[in-house]
Amino acid sequence: MWYYECMFTGIVEEIGKIKSFKKGLNGAELEIECSKVLCDTKIGDSIAVNGVCQTVTQLLKSSFKVQLSDETLNITTFNNAHSGDIVNLERALTLSSRLGGHIVSGHIDCIGKFLNKQKLSGFYNLTFEIPKSQQKYVVYKGSITINGISLTVAELSGNIITVAIIPHTFENTNLKTLKNGDFVNIETDILGKYVENFLSVTDNKKDISMDFLIENGYV
């Protein structure tokens, strides 16, 4: 079965458990126990682990292994991973897959901090703090990926974001294991980054007027 390279939706397929985490001189090796995502998976396929796109290097009966580079360790929560940790898993998109969440690349932008949880009637409000350098990519009612989960920003105050979680998502992801002060992997909406890059190109450095928006297809 053919998969896109590092293209996901943020819809978690399964919760896995870290069986072993071994740091070496160059990066680390991670083995994850699971069942569902092993179906049709082969060596070389991409699986998002807590939102981080990883390449399967070894398949075992009830687990798979991946290699983490130093860069991945430095910019994700895996630098402090431990055996027994619960992780969210999603296989890469296929041509026939439904885009149930939003476009997720599996490339982490930053680490966020879990601040608190509020249980309300029928859902939960979870609040996180992200680096101020990333807040420009987050908008009210926009998409954000937290530990590989496609979520919608329900409240936004500077670099403090709140997302509303339905019970199904809460119970079927590792959000339910978070404690105040825990760290999570954050991927902001890729569309905002493309817009920023487009507007920063030298030829496009001019005042953003209505004519400019029409000319470039925004209106």
So what's the pLDDT on residue 208?
59
Which phi-psi region, left, alpha or beta, contains residue 89 (left: φ > 0; alpha: ψ -120 to 50)?
Answer: beta
Rounded to the nearest integer, the mean pLDDT of the chain is 89
158 vs 155: CA distance, rounded Å: 10
**pLDDT for residue 32 is more than 80:** yes
So what's the pLDDT on residue 108?
96
93 or 53: whose pLDDT is higher?
A: 53
Hey, what domains does the chain have and what are their CATH numbers?
A: 14-91 (2.40.30.20), 110-195 (2.40.30.20)
Q: Is 7 helix (H, G, I), strand (E, B) or coil?
A: coil
**Burial classification of residue 218, based on how many CB atoms lie within 10 Å of its CB (0-12 exposed, 13-18 middle, 19 or more buried):** exposed
**Per-residue model confidence as pLDDT tens digits over 16-26:** 999 999 998 88
pLDDT band of residue 95 (cuts 50, 70, 90) is: low
Q: Which of 72-76, 95-99, 105-109, 129-133 has the lowest mean pLDDT?
A: 95-99
CB within 8 Å of 77: residues ≥ 6 apart: 50, 111, 183, 184, 185
- pTM reported for the whole predicted model: 0.86
Give all strands (DSSP E) within the chain, no chain letters.
14-23, 28-33, 46-49, 52-59, 63-68, 86-91, 110-120, 123-129, 143-146, 149-157, 160-165, 183-188
pLDDT band of residue 195 (cuts 50, 70, 90) is: confident
